[in-house]
Structure 1
Amino acid sequence: MTSFEHSTSRRNVLTALAAAATAGAPVLGQLAAATSASAAPPSSTTLPDPTEYFSNTDLYQQPNLVEGTSYSRRYRRHQQFDLKMSQKYDFPRTAILALHGGGIEIGTSELCLGIAGYSPGSAPGAGMGDPAGDPILPTVHDYFMFEGLLANGNTALHVTSKNCDDHVALSIAASHLNVLSLHGCKFEQLNLPTAAYPPTGDLAVAVVGGLNAAFRSALVTEINNAGFQAVDAYDPRYSATLGEFNGSHVKNPCNRTMLAMGAQLELTTELRKSLFGDPSSRGGRAETWYRSGDKFERFRDACRRAIATVEAGQVIL
């Protein structure tokens, strides 16, 4: 998802505070000067919009944010061995990332776990697996998730993908041939041609980006074949308005792979919500991912088939 556009950053505010302290000027006057370029907020607004953190490091260093309470990081790397001189063994070629999971871009954590081969969670006794337990699918992928855990206001925890500097996330990306990074967006942000995507029509859309054209093509094909709407962000019919969603930045973790290219999905709110029986809360999504009329499973499996297609053409040296 594209970064928030704010005219005043925390750094500007801190600079104003420092200047006021040095010059003896009223602090409120300095703050007013720092924000003069921006339009006044509506009268009902008492606080400025949240300013995006500069990086994961910036976020992790905030004293008011506590890991395990404000946010969490979960990942899994699968241990493999090659101990026989006469044989060659495979290694994990694809990793799944959800850099804005939990309450930031809802549904991306659950999809990350599902595509990786694990259960997003289940109701007690439902027999649908445990996210921390054994996989529920025969093929597994490494994964990483950063998740917002706040009761509300999780969008304030958003770090733009190209600014991600979490060591585990980057090490996972760098040690795989492919990365599929999952993100959320709003339909109206995409500005798709109204002739094909009218605002009164089906707003559940997946925008496929990243620098790996073969991976993008496989994802568009499989997602469309599974009964969903998917567009390639580089398709000339849509590319003019999808620049912010095309995953082209070289520092985007989806492209920081062994091949310096990967794929990402920008999923509209309507699409993500449709994958759950109850999308309204973390617990609701965990307990109803398999109660969506098979939509979650169809979307998950479409992504897994696309991964398998790409991996089939990648020779292990």
Structure 2
Amino acid sequence: MADDYKNFEELRQVNNYESDYHLLMGFGTSGILFMTPHGGGIESGASELCMFSAGTKHSYYALEGWRSSGNTALHITSTHWDEPNGTRMVKESKYTVSYHGYASSAKNTKIGGRDLKLMQLVKANFEAAGIPCELEPTTSNIAGAEPTNIVNKNKRRMGIQLEISTAQRTAFFDTNTRSERRNTTNAEFDAYVNAVVSAVESYAK
């Protein structure tokens, strides 16, 4: 399905900040950024993954859908995505992980991007933790392999994109609503975040 907006400026002109959408940001000093262009109600769980992955050491960013319904209309594909604050944070980061969601009733994560070594490290950690995953072929439209994808615009010109199924994201929270997700994360969520963060931190040393 085609996006309603081809860039952030189009979205901004017809939506209201803090009623339709919101920006969530935190700043660390490690050079590691966890981000999502599709947070809040756009792709549920992505914002929480960014925040908890960052903790107190790393940076996080999310553009969140805050509508009571219809948040998927705020989706801007990552190759066209250009919100200024997030774009600046990506450009200033060395290691970048972008969280996304895709529709599936089976638990799975499709690992993509251009940072091939980090992709392999995350895959190994997922497999060790029993988290279903696969490397996404670069020909896939959700592989995140394009140089124009926002996740690949960091200082090293390569990041990783994690596309997480509906079933997997739903399993992360005891109450899967925008207001309660961050308060009801569970052991499955913690294991997932730990697998990603430990891979990135070991890679960035």
Amino acid at match of 1:98: T
The answer to whether structure 1 residue 283 and structure 2 residue 186 are counterparts is: no
What's the counterpart of residue 30 of structure 1?
none
What's the counterpart of residue 31 of structure 2?
93
**CA separation in 2, counterparts of 1:112 and 1:265?**
11
The answer to whether structure 1 residue 66 and structure 2 residue 16 are counterparts is: yes
Amino acid at match of 1:214: K
Q: How big is each residue's C-alpha offset from its partner over 1:81-102, in whole Å with a ceiling of 9 and x where there is no partner?
A: xxxxxxxxxx522101111000
The answer to whether structure 1 residue 116 and structure 2 residue 33 are counterparts is: no
**Quick one: higher RCO (CA 8 Å, sep 6+), 1 or 2?**
2
What's the counterpart of residue 233 of structure 1?
136
Q: How big is each residue's C-alpha offset from its partner over 1:160-181, in whole Å with a ceiling of 9 and x where there is no partner?
A: 1111111111111111111100
Q: How big is each residue's C-alpha offset from its partner over 1:93-136, in whole Å with a ceiling of 9 and x where there is no partner?
A: 2101111000010000011101011xxxxxxxxxxxxxxxxx4x
Q: 1:219 aligns with which of 110, 114, 122?
A: 122
Amino acid at match of 1:77: F
The answer to whether structure 1 residue 181 and structure 2 residue 77 are counterparts is: no
What is the CA-CA distance between 1:57 and the residue it aligns to?
1.2
**CA separation in 2, counterparts of 1:53 and 1:219?**
32
Q: How big is each residue's C-alpha offset from its partner over 1:125-163, in whole Å with a ceiling of 9 and x where there is no partner?
A: xxxxxxxxxx4xxxx211111000011110001011111
Q: How big is each residue's C-alpha offset from its partner over 1:56-83, in whole Å with a ceiling of 9 and x where there is no partner?
A: 1110111xx11011110011223xxxxx
What is the CA-CA distance between 1:287 and the residue it aligns to?
2.2
The structure carrying a bigger strand percent of its residues is 2
Structure 2: runs of 5+ lacking an equivalent: none
Q: How big is each residue's C-alpha offset from its partner over 1:263-283, in whole Å with a ceiling of 9 and x where there is no partner?
A: 01000000000001111x112
Any idea what SS the aligned residue of 1:265 has?
Answer: strand
What is the CA-CA distance between 1:284 and the residue it aligns to?
2.6
**CA separation in 1, counterparts of 2:30 and 2:121?**
19
Any idea what SS the aligned residue of 2:127 has?
Answer: helix
Amino acid at match of 2:161: Q
The answer to whether structure 1 residue 208 and structure 2 residue 158 are counterparts is: no
Any idea what SS the aligned residue of 2:141 has?
Answer: helix
Contact 1:218/1:309 (8 A) holds in 2: no
What is the CA-CA distance between 1:223 and the residue it aligns to?
1.4
Amino acid at match of 2:175: D
Any idea what SS the aligned residue of 1:270 has?
Answer: helix
Amino acid at match of 1:114: F
Give the structure-2-normalised TM-score.
0.95
**CA separation in 2, counterparts of 1:222 and 1:52?**
36
Amino acid at match of 2:184: T
Any idea what SS the aligned residue of 2:47 has?
Answer: helix
Any idea what SS the aligned residue of 1:271 has?
Answer: helix
Contact 1:278/1:284 (8 A) holds in 2: yes
What's the counterpart of residue 251 of structure 1?
148
**CA separation in 2, counterparts of 1:169 and 1:287?**
25
**CA separation in 2, counterparts of 1:233 and 1:165?**
24
Q: Percent identity?
A: 26
Any idea what SS the aligned residue of 2:69 has?
Answer: coil
**CA separation in 2, counterparts of 1:92 and 1:104?**
28
The answer to whether structure 1 residue 106 and structure 2 residue 50 are counterparts is: no
**CA separation in 2, counterparts of 1:264 and 1:141?**
17
- Of structures 1 and 2, the larger Rg is shown by 1
Give the structure-1-normalised TM-score.
0.62
